[in-house]
Amino acid sequence: MRASQLFFPTLRELPSEAEVISHQLLLRAGFIRKTASGIYSYLPLAMRVLQKIERIVREEMDKAGGQEVGLPIVQPAELWQQSGRWAVYGDEMFRLTDRHDRWYALGPTHEEVITTLVDENINSYRDLPLLLYQIQNKYRDEIRPRFGLMRGREFIMKDMYSFDLDSDGLAESYRKMYSAYRAIYERMSLDFRVVEADSGAIGGNESHEFMVLAETGESLIVYCDQCEYAANVEKAPCILPEAVPEHREELPLEKIPTPNLRTIQDLVEFLQQPATNYIKTLMLRADDELIAVLVRGDRELNLLKLQHALGCAVLDMAEESAVRKLVAAGFGSLGAVGLPVKIYADQEVMRMKNMACGANEDDYHFINVNVGRDFTPHQVVDVRDAVEGDLCPQCSQPLKVMRGVEVGHIFKLGTKYSEALDARYTDQQGQAQNIVMGCYGIGISRTMAAAVEQNYDENGIIWPLPIAPYQIIVTPVNVKNDEQRAAAEKIYADLLDAGYEVILDDRDERAGVKFKDADLIGIPVRVTIGPKSLQENCVEMKKRWENENTLVPLKDLSAALKEVFVPK
C-alpha cells in the first residue's frame, strides 16, 4: 500500500472527548471515527487489525471443533418472550417494529436464536455435541457508552454456543474453549489473566473472564501471587484477615444534630471520624420487599453478591418516597438503629465498634452505635467487592489488586435456555432430555482497543506483531530524490514479493512528518532510505519498540526482517 493512497486521516490535536489512551490513539492515528454515541466507523487500518484478530479467533475456534454460522441481527420478539428475556433485558436492548407493527430486537446476544435453530434441526443424541460460532455486530444500548471501542453500542463479537448431551459433555466443551481462549490471547501477544467471574444475568454456574491487563481497564481483579487464584472483585469471596482484638469499651449511644450533612464525606469532616467508622445504610427493593443493607462507610455494595445472598429475582435501589413512608428520613440520614425492615449486614460491620450512622430522622446521626446492643441484623452476608489485603480463598495469603479489560467471557449455561425454549434431544433409551449448553464470547473490537491500551508510548501505538495492520513501512527520506525513490520502490516490491505486508511512504512530506506518522499508527518495523545509508548500500531499520536505528546492509535486510517476524 502506498501511503499517498492510504485513507488514514491522522489528527494533530488530541480529541477532547477521548478519555482513555486507546480511544485517543485510535482516533488520532486515523483508525476509527465516531458516527454516533458508542457507534464507530472503522477505517482501513482498523479493518486490517480487526481482520487479523478475527482470523486468529476463527482458526482457534475451528481447531477446537467449532463451525461458523451466520445468525440474524434482527430477531423476532417472540423468541425473547419465550425465554422470558424480552421483559427483563431492559433498556439495553434496541427494539424496533416492522411495517406490520411486529416487534424485533437488534441482537445483543444470540442464545434465543441459536437454541431454537438447533432444537428445530436436531433430534437424537447422535446429533450432539455441537459447537457453533459466529463473528458479527452486536447491539446493546449501553447506559454509558464510553472509552471508544471499549464500551460501544454497536460492537463486534465472536459468540460461540456449545450443545451437549450432559454436564460431562459441557465440561469438555468448556475445557476446550478455555484452552482455545488462552491460545487466542497468547497468539495475539497480549498480557492477560484468566479470572473467575460472576455469571451475572445470563445465569449458569461456572464462568471465567479473560482480562487484558491495563491500568485503565474498567475491571478490577484480585489475584494471589502465591498461587494461581485470580477473580473479578465482584466475584471473589471476601475472607477477612484475622480480627485484631478490640479492647475499646462500648460507649453510650448519642444522637447528634447534623444539619444538611448527607454524605459520608460531609460527616467525616463534621464528626472528625474516619469513613471506616461509619455504617453506610442502603435501602433496596428485593422482589417487592424493602430491605436494608449495611456496609462499612468506605466500601461499595456489590449488588450481584447481595442478589446471590438473597436469592431474589429482581433487586433494585429503593425509591426515596417508599423509604419516607417507613421512617422520617431520606437516604442521607438512614441508619441501623430502629429500622423497621430486615437488615442484612456485611460481615465487616460485625467487627466494628462505636460506629456512626444516620438516626432515621432527617439531619440527625447516631454515634457510638454497637451491634447486638443497638441493632441486630437479620443476616450477616458478604456483600462488598473484594479488596487488596482480603485473604486468598485458596491459600489464605493476602490478595493484590490490578486492573484489566474484559475481552472474553465464557459461561456454563446448563439447561437454562433449553428448558425455557424447550430444546431437547432423544437419548439412547428414547427419553427426551434437555440439551446442556455453554456460551463463549470475545469482544473483537474491544480486543483491538485493549491491545492499544497495553501497547503504546508517547509517540503512538506499538502494535503487537500478530495484529499490526501492516508489518513494515518503507520510508524514503526524500521522494524527490530519484535514487532514493528508486531504491525505496525496489525494496517495497521485494518485500511484497517476500510476502510481507508493507506500506511505502511515497508522500512528498518532510522525513520528520513521515516518521511521526509511522510511529503514531504503530507499524512494527520502519525501513528508512536516506542519502547516507544509500552511499554505504545500506538501509536504516528501526523497531517501533526500540529507540535506536540500526544500519543494515541491503543484502542482510531479508535476514534481519526474518529475525523479527518469523517465530523461532
Where on the chain is the footprint of ligand ATP (CB under 6 A)? 109, 140, 142, 151-152, 155, 157, 406-409, 441, 443, 445-446
Decide: 111 and 439 in contact? Cβ < 8 Å. yes
Pairing of strands 74-76, 94-97: unpaired
* Residue closer to ligand ATP, measured from CB, 134 or 533: 134
Q: How far is the CB of 108 from ligand ATP (least distance, A)?
A: 8
Q: How far is the CB of 462 from ligand ATP (least distance, A)?
A: 22
* Residue closer to ligand ATP, measured from CB, 383 or 410: 410
* Residue closer to ligand ATP, measured from CB, 155 or 344: 155
Q: How far is the CB of 153 from ligand ATP (least distance, A)?
A: 7
Q: How far is the CB of 147 from ligand ATP (least distance, A)?
A: 9
Integer angstrom CA distances of residue 50 from 70, 162, 289, 352, 466: 18, 24, 47, 52, 11
* Residue 273 amino acid letter: Q
* Residue closer to ligand ATP, measured from CB, 149 or 310: 149
Q: How far is the CB of 510 from ligand ATP (least distance, A)?
A: 38
In the bound complex, which residue of the shown chain has the CB atom lying closest to ligand ATP? Answer: 443
**What is the tally of helices (H) and strands (E) in the chain?**
15, 31
Q: How far is the CB of 80 from ligand ATP (least distance, A)?
A: 15
Q: How far is the CB of 278 from ligand ATP (least distance, A)?
A: 29
* Residue closer to ligand ATP, measured from CB, 139 or 470: 139
**Any idea which residue has 511515497 for its cell?**
506
- Please tell me what DSSP assigns to residue 319: P
State the Cα–Cα distance between residues 404 and 130, nearest whole angstrom: 32
- Please tell me what DSSP assigns to residue 303: H
- The residues, any chain, with a CB within 8 Å of residue 499's CB and separated by 6 or more, are none
Decide: 254 and 369 in contact? Cβ < 8 Å. no
Helix/strand/coil for 373: coil
Helix/strand/coil for 101: coil
Name the residue among 333, 331, 337, 340 with its Cα closest to residue 289: 340
Q: How far is the CB of 104 from ligand ATP (least distance, A)?
A: 20
**Residue 60 CB coordination number (10 Å):** 23
* Residue closer to ligand ATP, measured from CB, 52 or 409: 409
Phi, psi of 126 (to 5 degrees): -70, -20
* Residue closer to ligand ATP, measured from CB, 306 or 337: 306
Burial bucket for residue 86 (CB in 10 Å: 0-12, 13-18, 19+): middle
Whether cis (ω within 30° of 0) applies to the bond prior to 252 is no
* Residue closer to ligand ATP, measured from CB, 201 or 395: 201
* Residue closer to ligand ATP, measured from CB, 30 or 107: 107
- Please tell me what DSSP assigns to residue 371: B
* CA triple 161-414-131, angle to 5 deg: 20
Q: How far is the CB of 92 from ligand ATP (least distance, A)?
A: 9
Q: How far is the CB of 71 from ligand ATP (least distance, A)?
A: 15
* Residue closer to ligand ATP, measured from CB, 40 or 344: 40
Name the residue among 241, 215, 236, 242 with its Cα closest to residue 224: 236
